Amino acid sequence: MIASTPQPSYYAVIFTSLRTAGDQGYAEAAQRMLDLAREQPGFLGVESARGDDGLGITVSYWQDEAAILAWKQHAEHSEIRERGRSTWYETCQTRVCKVERAYRFDR
């Protein structure tokens, strides 16, 4: 689904990853992180896609940089992030951007 975000400005965290083979508990952990992120103050929404080749892009939207930092420092999120690095990802990259303009078309 496409996230419903407020009028800018707000922030986007773009997480791009290439998975390792096999699930190894990934699906359950990813769902838990999504559920937990939705509970965080300043969380605005998320969009995520993963191709058959293992390349995934998840964009989460946040009210401000303080909300992003709080999420980064959340104990359970930190634990899962480390498991991702040791088990689930061949490579990953995070980018933080300020959204200054947004356009939408709905049929």
Encode burial over 33-52: b for 16+ CB neighbours within 10 A, e otherwise.
Answer: beeebeebebbbbbeeeeee
Cis peptide, bond prior to residue 17, ω within 30 of zero: no
Query: 5-21, pLDDT tens digit by residue?
Result: 999 999 999 999 999 99
pLDDT in tens, 26-84: 999 999 999 999 999 999 999 999 999 999 999 999 999 999 999 999 999 999 999 99
3-state secondary structure 31-94: HHHHHHHHCCCCEEEEEEEECCCCEEEEEEEECCHHHHHHHHHCHHHHHHHHHHHHHHEEEEEE
